[in-house]
């Protein structure tokens, strides 16, 4: 027995991209149906991004989902950068007049789910066998299984918000899509610890032993990362080994102040840069990690996803308001213009601060010289600050 459903916009993926798109469209009376492979609890168990650009906060405010963020988020007016024992600050406020907000992606996703509950639009969790059909017609469809039944959804548009491993990108014919990828020869080993952050702001540390990042979620929950070999597993690292390696990559005065403790989460993220072109095909549109991936060094993953949702939601709202499809037809070009700038910045920050295992002594000198130039040059610091706080939509 097949269940037949109808909606205006079918959204595949109930992560931040899908939930935010559903919220912005729903507030304008546009029907959406979100299809999520995992349980809600599983989605909310993920520990990912931590830094929100100014523009991201503005979009969340427009979506009516920024109340808790404004109460509990931490405004950061700058960030620290260190090279071995030397450190300096990039003053976002002085250089750009803007700041960033530290507020975990997990909390953003929780707020978006709560908002969807209030909106009352449907989300199907634990769906399977999602397949997208007829996107080159005016009547696209999504077929899936849910609760042991076959489900067929007819809709006006399909939006793939299903991340890097989702199905939507593959729906664009192989000879019509172009993929750009760089896989980095290292990963990030990240921990959450119920300890006070070592600094009031983030610290991006470059050292001969490799990269480290000191971040946080609140005054008693810290987020730390160290660059690790690509094939490392979290299980291979004891807490003691992690803390010792982190301290060896930080300036000595910072390492001396580090408060260690039992980690409550430990995971390894592989690092890659990836973009697919185009980000639309017929009545299928891609948002977020379904279309692009960045190494987390520049804190651009979630923020670039929000940029896509900003453009696509505006285009769909216009189409349903007055039938004009001009912005919809131009979505991919508009979104990619901002995506590639985020890709460049993320690649640049990653190349600057990480030591590739087999890099030459000349490459190491180039990194040292670039960090020294950044330390001393206001124009160079302004370029980093403008990209970090977020380029305009």
Binding positions for ligand FAS, rule: CB under 6 A: 12-18, 35-38, 43, 48-50, 105, 127, 130, 161-163, 165-167, 269, 288-289, 296, 299-302, 305
**Which residue in this structure is represented by tokens 């950061």?**
76
Is 388 an annotated catalytic residue?
yes
296 touching ligand PHB, by CB under 6 A: yes
76 touching ligand PHB, by CB under 6 A: no
Q: Which does 38 bind (CB under 5 to 8 A by kind): ligand FAS, ligand PHB, none?
A: ligand FAS
The residue sitting closest to ligand PHB, measured at its beta carbon, is: 50
Minimum separation from the CB atom of position 104 to ligand FAS (A): 9
Q: Which is nearer to ligand FAS, 105 or 280 (CB)?
A: 105
Q: Which does 16 bind (CB under 5 to 8 A by kind): ligand FAS, ligand PHB, none?
A: ligand FAS
**Which residue in this structure is represented by tokens 């999602």?**
130
51 touching ligand PHB, by CB under 6 A: yes
Is 204 an annotated catalytic residue?
yes
Q: Which does 215 bind (CB under 5 to 8 A by kind): ligand PHB, ligand FAS, none?
A: ligand PHB
189 touching ligand PHB, by CB under 6 A: no
Minimum separation from the CB atom of position 223 to ligand PHB (A): 4
Listed as own residue / partner, the contacts of 56-59 with beta carbons closer than 8 Å and 24 or more positions apart are: 56/101, 56/302, 56/303, 56/306, 56/390, 57/101, 59/20, 59/24, 59/306, 59/309, 59/310
Pairwise CA distance, residues 374 & 376, whole Å: 5
String marking each residue 1-40 x if it binds ligand PHB according to CB under 6 A:
----------------------------------------
Q: Which is nearer to ligand PHB, 24 or 191 (CB)?
A: 191
Q: Which does 26 bind (CB under 5 to 8 A by kind): ligand PHB, ligand FAS, none?
A: none
CB 331 within 8 A of CB 279: yes
Q: Which is nearer to ligand FAS, 231 or 365 (CB)?
A: 231
- Rounded CA Rg of the chain: 21
Contacts of 38 (CB under 8 A, 6+ apart): 14, 125, 126
Interface region with ligand PHB, contact rule CB under 6 A, candidates 12-20, 132-140, 193-201, 293-301: 293-301
Q: Which does 295 bind (CB under 5 to 8 A by kind): ligand FAS, ligand PHB, none?
A: none
**Sheet-wide strand order for 51-52:** 51-52, 100-102, 74-76
List 197, 225, 296, 331, catalytic entry: 296
Minimum separation from the CB atom of position 295 to ligand PHB (A): 9
Site for ligand PHB in 219-248 (CB under 6 A): 223
CB 385 within 8 A of CB 92: yes
Strands 9-12 and 157-160: parallel
List 121, 266, 300, 310, catalytic entry: 300
Is 182 an annotated catalytic residue?
no
Q: Which does 66 bind (CB under 5 to 8 A by kind): ligand PHB, ligand FAS, none?
A: none
73 touching ligand PHB, by CB under 6 A: no
Which one of 13, 18, 22, 50 is in contact with ligand PHB (CB under 6 A)?
50
List 76, 121, 292, 310, catalytic entry: 76
Q: Which is nearer to ligand FAS, 167 or 205 (CB)?
A: 167
Q: Which is nearer to ligand PHB, 13 or 296 (CB)?
A: 296
Pairwise CA distance, residues 98 & 53, whole Å: 9
Q: Which is nearer to ligand PHB, 213 or 385 (CB)?
A: 213
Name residue 115's beta-bridge partners: none
- Contacting positions for ligand PHB (CB under 6 A): 49-51, 202, 213, 215, 223, 296-297, 299
Catalytic residue annotation: 76, 204, 296, 300, 388
């Amino acid at each position: 027995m097949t269940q037949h459903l109808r909606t205006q916009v079918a959204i595949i993926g109930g992560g931040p991209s899908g939930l935010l798109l559903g919220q912005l469209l729903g507030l304008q009376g546009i029907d959406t149906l979100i299809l999520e492979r995992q349980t809600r609890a599983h989605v909310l168990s993920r520990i990912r991004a931590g830094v929100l650009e100014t523009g991201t906060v503005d979009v969340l405010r427009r979506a009516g989902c920024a109340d808790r963020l404004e109460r509990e988020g931490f405004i950061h007016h700058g960030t620290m950068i260190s090279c071995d024992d030397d450190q300096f600050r990039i003053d976002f406020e002085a250089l750009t007049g803007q700041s960033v907000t530290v507020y975990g992606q997990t909390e953003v996703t929780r707020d978006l789910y709560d908002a969807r509950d209030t909106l009352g639009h449907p989300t199907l969790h634990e769906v399977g066998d999602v397949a997208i059909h007829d996107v080159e017609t005016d009547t696209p469809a999504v077929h899936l299984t849910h609760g042991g039944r076959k489900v067929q959804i007819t809709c006006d548009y399909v939006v793939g918000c299903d991340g890097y491993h989702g199905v939507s990108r593959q729906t664009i014919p192989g000879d019509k899509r172009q993929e750009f990828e760089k896989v980095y020869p290292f990963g990030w080993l990240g921990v959450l610890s119920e300890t006070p952050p070592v600094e009031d702001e983030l610290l991006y540390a470059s050292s001969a032993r490799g990269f480290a990042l000191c971040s946080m979620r609140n005054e008693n929950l810290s987020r730390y990362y160290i660059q690790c070999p690509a094939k490392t597993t979290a299980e291979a690292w004891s807490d003691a080994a992690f803390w010792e390696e982190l301290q060896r990559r930080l300036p000595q005065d910072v390492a001396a102040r580090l408060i260690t403790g039992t980690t409550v989460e430990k995971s390894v993220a592989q690092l890659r840069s990836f973009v697919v072109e185009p980000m639309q095909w017929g009545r299928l549109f891609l948002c977020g990690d379904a279309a692009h991936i960045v190494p987390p060094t520049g804190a651009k993953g979630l923020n670039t996803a929000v940029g896509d949702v900003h453009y696509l939601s505006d285009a769909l709202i216009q189409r349903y308001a007055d039938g004009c499809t001009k912005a919809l037809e131009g979505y991919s070009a508009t979104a990619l213009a901002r995506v590639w700038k985020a890709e460049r910045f993320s690649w640049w920050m990653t190349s600057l601060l990480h030591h590739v295992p087999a890099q030459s002594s000349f490459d190491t000198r180039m990194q040292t010289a670039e960090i020294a130039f950044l330390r001393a040059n206001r124009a160079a610091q302004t370029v980093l600050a403008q990209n970090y706080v977020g380029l305009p939509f």
